[in-house]
Structure 1
Amino acid sequence: MSILKRFSDIMSANINALLDKCEDPAKMVDQILRNLNDDLGKVKAETASIMAEEARAKRELDECNKEIAKLLDYAKRAIEAGNDDDARLFLSKKATLTEKQSTLEQKVQLASSNTLKMRQMHDKLVSEVNELTARRDSIKAKVATANMQQRINELGSSLNSSKSNLGAFTRMEEKANRMLDEANAIADLNAVPKDDIESLMNKYDTKTSSSIEDELAALKGNRSSTIDHELAALKGLTNQE
């Protein structure tokens, strides 16, 4: 029977191996449970069918056995009555039923064997479903913890990258400072040396310029006074006329 082969394959599968191969155990464990429950429903239906077949075979065998026993009884009665021909008829019919009895016994034996296999599969599937159901919450909790730890690890990697970038920024800043210091140093070296005597002369040149400016201001002031006197004298003469 193909159903027996199918569920034999299911039973030989290792649930832990399935979990190890899946990418997301939290989702896969739910899918496995759904599959197992579907299979369990099919196993129950098939087991019930095989058990019913076994019951029918046993009932047919019982009826055949009763009929054989009855024919044998009638054959005995016919012999007792001195009717051998009737006894032969009863025994002939009994022989036919005996062949049928052998076939029915094989049928019952096969049905009983199939029923035993299906019940074993049914019980194993029930056990697997119950076990996986009990482990599901634990598996999901472990997956959630693992995912959280992975996010923390990724955050740590990001922080390490940030520290590396900050370190690179600091190195570039230090390099820029060195470049500026070197440029200033070269500028100082390229500058024309100052003559101390010339600097000293500039000091006094500044004072001389100041004296000249003072003298010029004084002259401007005297000139203004002379012009004012002349203007006043001219106004006096004009009034006398």
Structure 2
Amino acid sequence: MGILSRTSYVIRSKVNSLLNRAEDPGETLDYSYEQLRDELQNVKQGIADLTTQKKRLEIQKRRLEENVEKHNEQARQAVEQDRDDLAKRALEKKKQKMNQIEGLERQISDLEKKQDGLIKQKNQLQQQIEEFRTRKETMKARYQAAEASTRVNEAMTGAGEEMEDISRTIERAEEQTEEMEARASALDELRESGALDNAVSDRSDLDRELEDLSTESAVDSELDTIKSEMGKDESVEAEPDVSEETAEPATEDVNLDDIEENVNESEVESELEELKDEET
């Protein structure tokens, strides 16, 4: 099969597919039903025409029969008057009319046969039309039920064209959502690692480390200052005396609760002073 033949075959297949989709069996059945009704109407019209023609012939036959009686009466009158020549002429006309009557009777008989045949065909066609109408309505109901069932099944299974479009839309939305989530996760990792800050900031990693060290040194200095103010400076603590270690312990008891309370009050006062300095 050549390229042109294959192309022609594909085109015919597509056209037939489109025609099958566009064709509505209900409309096709209705059209066929109307065609049958038109045919029945034509048969009825033919019967009416034959009946009219037969009636005309019957009228002509009756007129000829009247003429036959008239010529028969004329022949009798001519015989009574001893006019055989007139009697013969009347009888000749009577014979002509009789021949015409016989021809009309044959024509009428033929028309009656045709009329009977058309009436028989009309009755059969009318019966077929009634049967077709019943079957047509049944087929239309079945098709509509099947069509509704198909639409429901397509909607439920997503097999319809609209559902396919919706499915593709959902898939694209899911892909875009997953892509956006992955991008957001990557940006979070970059931000936590500091790579994102470095990318958008003009400071280098060395600057950030030096700044962290400076902050840590300032905190340690402030902590030493607090300890010095509270008498907790390790550099001014005296070495314990050996004699004092061997000496008897003092008789005065030390209240630990009082020491902790003094320490806590000193810390609170120090923090309050810092807050005041920050406010000013």
Q: State TM-score, norm by structure 2.
A: 0.47
Q: CA deviation at 1:115?
A: 1.8
In structure 2, the residue matched to 1:176 is 180
With 124-133 and 53-62 compared, the bigger mean Cα shift is at: 53-62
The answer to whether residue 224 in structure 2 is matched with residue 211 in structure 1 is yes
Q: CA deviation at 1:144?
A: 1.1
The answer to whether residue 60 in structure 2 is matched with residue 47 in structure 1 is no
Counterpart code for 1:139: M
For 1:39 and 1:195, the matched residues in 2 are separated by: 100
For 1:108 and 1:57, the matched residues in 2 are separated by: 7
For 2:134 and 2:100, the matched residues in 1 are separated by: 50
Counterpart code for 2:166: S
Decide whether aligned partners of structure 1 residues 48 and 171 sit closer, same or farther in structure 2, where only a CA change above 3 A counts: closer
In structure 1, the residue matched to 2:9 is none
Asked if the contact 1:74/1:87 (under 8 Å) is kept, the reply is yes
For 1:189 and 1:208, the matched residues in 2 are separated by: 28
Decide whether aligned partners of structure 1 residues 127 and 177 sit closer, same or farther in structure 2, where only a CA change above 3 A counts: same
In structure 2, the residue matched to 1:100 is 100
Deviations 1:22-46 (A, max 9, x none): 9544456557656755765675466
Mark the runs of 5 or more structure 1 residues left unpaired by the alignment: 1-19, 222-241
Q: CA deviation at 1:122?
A: 1.9
Q: CA deviation at 1:148?
A: 0.8
Q: CA deviation at 1:141?
A: 0.9
Choose between structure 1 and 2: higher helix proportion. Answer: 1
1:71-220 correspondence runs (5 A): 84-101=84-101, 103-105=103-105, 107-109=107-109, 111-112=111-112, 114-116=114-116, 118-152=118-152, 155=155, 156=158, 157=160, 158-186=162-190, 188=193, 190=195, 192=205, 206-213=219-226, 215=228
With 41-50 and 137-146 compared, the bigger mean Cα shift is at: 41-50
Matched residue count? 196
Asked if the contact 1:54/1:115 (under 8 Å) is kept, the reply is no
Counterpart code for 1:95: K
Decide whether aligned partners of structure 1 residues 73 and 215 sit closer, same or farther in structure 2, where only a CA change above 3 A counts: same
Deviations 1:168-201 (A, max 9, x none): 2332233223323444555537462799999789
Decide whether aligned partners of structure 1 residues 105 and 214 sit closer, same or farther in structure 2, where only a CA change above 3 A counts: same
Identity among equivalent pairs (%): 18
Deviations 1:47-97 (A, max 9, x none): 256335425534654774697599689979x99xx9743552233212331
With 129-138 and 97-106 compared, the bigger mean Cα shift is at: 97-106
Mark the runs of 5 or more structure 2 residues left unpaired by the alignment: 1-19, 199-204, 232-265, 267-280
Decide whether aligned partners of structure 1 residues 27 and 203 sit closer, same or farther in structure 2, where only a CA change above 3 A counts: same
Between the two structures, name the one with larger relative contact order (CA 8 Å, sep ≥ 6): 1
With 143-152 and 46-55 compared, the bigger mean Cα shift is at: 46-55
For 2:30 and 2:185, the matched residues in 1 are separated by: 68
